Structure 1
């Protein structure tokens, strides 16, 4: 077990908690109907950007990546890397779109974009579906990771770690609000960045041969680990990779950021500042990801048994060669990453349940103070549900795969609703509902009907893909067919409602009026979305080639990608308005 100096840890944690206590008392919300923000209130984009970085810079994702790498090597990471191609969607398209909207919650978009009974039904369904099912699953990821981490860090038993984790989060719920989150995440971002550069410095210091020679030796010793193409029976299975490249990344991902980030975008005063707030932390994260890969390589080369306990390996990876007096800072950064992610999820889930569901349709006339405390109650309920889910989970990957399947085919409707007038509330609702129902039906038939299982296995053999990807393709096609059919069968939204939405956002696309001027701008944006996706994929591939194939060629690919990003930022400043 990695030992952290108790006295230093106490001092550092004490200073941090005093700062948090000051910010909590200073900015405690005295009057608020939801736990995010007052309508129309703006925040500095640089603070929002640091908050975005803190959210992206999530050590619990390291646990998932370590588990996938331990199982399938680097090729197992494709399953978890949907964001590679999505890098341009948020800063170029949807972040600026959201910044034009000043809604109380992102779920209020349902009644702004759509009209009639369908809009209200979708708002209620999405608030309860996400609040009581999706968000608790995401919370369970973080709880499981946080519980494992504190158990290793402090030497607690699993039961002790579980109770301490739940108690700590129960206390933190009462300081949870959007304004506090922005300020505290700024502090957390500086701490996490400082910790990462400390880890990089000491990881490089521990390598006693030239770095390129180290990677050459690493390649020889870990040939199977570093393979990028998925393996099947010890043979390359490029078809799985093609499913990822062509289907998975857009099928399961909610690319329009209809999540906690939408609240951040809506608090930014302009579209261009929204672009900067999203692009800056994303670009920095590319560098941080490369730093993490160096830290991983350094740790694995000196710890051949790292796969035995990946939870111990995560802590060890960041602390094994760190001087004793720096270890408490690293431990603090790791813990902050978990806490920050959990607080964001509590905010997002309780905001929808409290504002969109409870205040909107159950108890519409209570005092503001009542809604503030009902928000805390909903956060406690989310904590309870997430805790129950985490108790019955010992591994991340099965839960991740289930989460991916209940999202299959939903991603496209969240994109189409911004650009196509035919998409209505019922089509979005059908996509969300059917993705869950079809997943449960698929699993039930696969477990109880041999003929169904034989068909899916035969299809997997025919396409030469894994069973999971057969399931993903089947669900994606079924869900898309369903919501497109519903879009045509159900009445479209009122023209005045569509015009109101379009006049605010001006997204371009297919609408029952002339949009050629906006479509020219949209075409330029889509071009840069594609170029950003290519550049991001190239920079990731270039990092791998730099380390394990050809140093100069890898460096060339990285520099070309950076050049594309730089030119893109310059050109997009004239386009994003």
Structure 2
């Protein structure tokens, strides 16, 4: 599709504004690694929370949602909607604890909580495991989406897309650190939201779609519109609903939805100016992520099923696109070719914004692990801040190169999603319990990390050869996930009780600093008068009300779009009542600062 002068003007203006912001903050970010990786721990909640949202607003997210909807209908989104439970636990239990820890990264938590050489090993190994290996997979998935968008909207080769996107993003990321990331995220979020809503509007306006009423009555969508899965098809219900709610949300480590918080979510919480701002930022992130953003993507995905019912239709429309890239996730960028000029430029700018926000965050986050938790901790402890910032910029560039190379191998967004879920299967419960159960030690996490990785490798690369069938088929993918969770959980529990607990002095120091809620530490540390002081009941009630409010908002919007006004109104009232109750309960959460 050809862009006109107006489209290019909008795109160029966007890049000028973003790069200008990045350059403005480059000098401030270069003062120290605390400024480069944590913005001096001075950020208010609305900047931090919006940055979290913008980071998860990546180019591959609408592609993933489209893949899910085209494959299994609207109800298929429960595979990620279920992570709201994880999010609300993070908001009301863990956000203030992360900020209280004072760590620069969540990996630095390990030597605060655990003792001995095993704690140091865990910190060093996991910094590379997550900061490089895991992180590169995520960035490659995002870059894959950019490749498909470049193919469809601009007609450019995948190598050109990878080189262009990688170069622009890495320059911006290297210069400004987290300061540039979070400030530009405010702009990126607005542009991305306008772009996604506009894409939904113009998709509905297509003659073959016939507006919202025409879309909802189209025979191609029969059986695809239900918000809840068809429980008569138990295999599908297990995959999209039962397993996510019963197992996945608490057991799986997934970027942006880590049980108890972690990764770039923890980085944002640690950069907040106090515990209150950390909690409110994470709350705003979960509201925006689950209640505000999904429906424009879903609408475009449904429209794509009308315009391109089969993959063959996508191939016919885009004959020059590599056959390996013709997957269901291509439905989203394929709908963007119908946008009018001017708005097309804005949408491409919004997709570039989504890409840059996600990649810049992952580059900064990954570099923080490599520099603070590996290089500074083990290789060069006494260098200047200038040296560490320079090293961080070198690592940032290297991570971008690795992600670009891997993106040329991946084929679709759901493939990467399944791989990441499987790799993290069974580790999540540790991240929830380690704050409150003293018996968990470094060996618990080491064993879980190794076993979950081995199980993932087996199912992804060996299982088909041994048994002759595809283990990650959409209807059956819950089986390897559950098996992985079971094997990993049993293993780390056994290892926990077979190895020595963390040194009592370290446990006491951790307890004195964090003051975790509940009485689970009373047997091993001197708790004094602080034990049980914070209101755990209020926190759990807020978790329930938070889930109720967000799900009510999400489904009220859906029923409104479907024209089912009674449930839409009831759910809207439920959302308002739940939100009001949370506001009244918040003072009982008892944050510091």
TM-score, normalization: structure 1? 0.87
Q: Which moved more, 1:198-207 or 1:323-332?
A: 198-207
Separation of aligned partners in 2, 1:58 and 1:215:
26
Structure 1 residue 439 corresponds to structure 2 residue 456 = yes
Separation of aligned partners in 1, 2:333 and 2:216:
26
Pairing 1:284-433 to 2, within 5 Å after superposition: 284-285=288-289, 286-297=291-302, 300-301=305-306, 304=309, 308=314, 310=328, 313-317=331-335, 320=338, 322-433=339-450
Structure 1 residue 158 corresponds to structure 2 residue 158 = yes
SS in 1 for 2:41: coil
Separation of aligned partners in 2, 1:430 and 1:198:
47
Separation of aligned partners in 1, 2:531 and 2:210:
55
Residue pair 2:556, 2:568 contacting (<8 A) in 1 also: yes
The corresponding residue for 1:569 is: 583
Residue pair 1:229, 1:237 contacting (<8 A) in 2 also: no
The corresponding residue for 1:226 is: 225
Q: Which moved more, 1:545-554 or 1:422-431?
A: 545-554
Q: Which moved more, 1:204-213 or 1:409-418?
A: 204-213
Q: 1:299 to 1:144 in 2, by over 3 A?
A: closer
Q: Which moved more, 1:477-486 or 1:500-509?
A: 500-509
The corresponding residue for 1:502 is: 511
Q: 1:65 to 1:410 in 2, by over 3 A?
A: same
Separation of aligned partners in 2, 1:39 and 1:27:
10
The corresponding residue for 1:71 is: 71
The corresponding residue for 1:258 is: 262
SS in 2 for 1:420: coil
TM-score, normalization: structure 2? 0.85
Q: Which moved more, 1:203-212 or 1:268-277?
A: 203-212
Deviations 1:454-496 (CA, angstroms, capped at 9, x unpaired): 9x99xx9xxxx95422211111111111112222222222233
Alpha-carbon offset, residue 95 of structure 1: 1.6
Residue pair 1:34, 1:375 contacting (<8 A) in 2 also: no
Residue pair 2:95, 2:275 contacting (<8 A) in 1 also: yes
Q: Which moved more, 1:282-291 or 1:96-105?
A: 282-291
Residue pair 2:22, 2:175 contacting (<8 A) in 1 also: yes
Alpha-carbon offset, residue 67 of structure 1: 1.6
Residue pair 2:203, 2:209 contacting (<8 A) in 1 also: no
Alpha-carbon offset, residue 414 of structure 1: 0.6
Separation of aligned partners in 1, 2:9 and 2:236:
52
Residue pair 2:50, 2:186 contacting (<8 A) in 1 also: yes
Residue pair 1:170, 1:380 contacting (<8 A) in 2 also: yes
Residue pair 1:128, 1:357 contacting (<8 A) in 2 also: yes
Residue pair 2:37, 2:364 contacting (<8 A) in 1 also: no
SS in 2 for 1:497: helix
The corresponding residue for 2:179 is: 179
2:10 to 9, 12, 30: 12
Deviations 1:415-458 (CA, angstroms, capped at 9, x unpaired): 111111111111112111211023334556634545xx89x99x
Residue pair 2:208, 2:306 contacting (<8 A) in 1 also: no
Report how many residues are paired: 564
Root mean square deviation, CA, Å:
3.3
The corresponding residue for 1:278 is: 282
Structure 2: 5+ residue stretches without partners = 315-325
Q: 1:30 to 1:245 in 2, by over 3 A?
A: closer
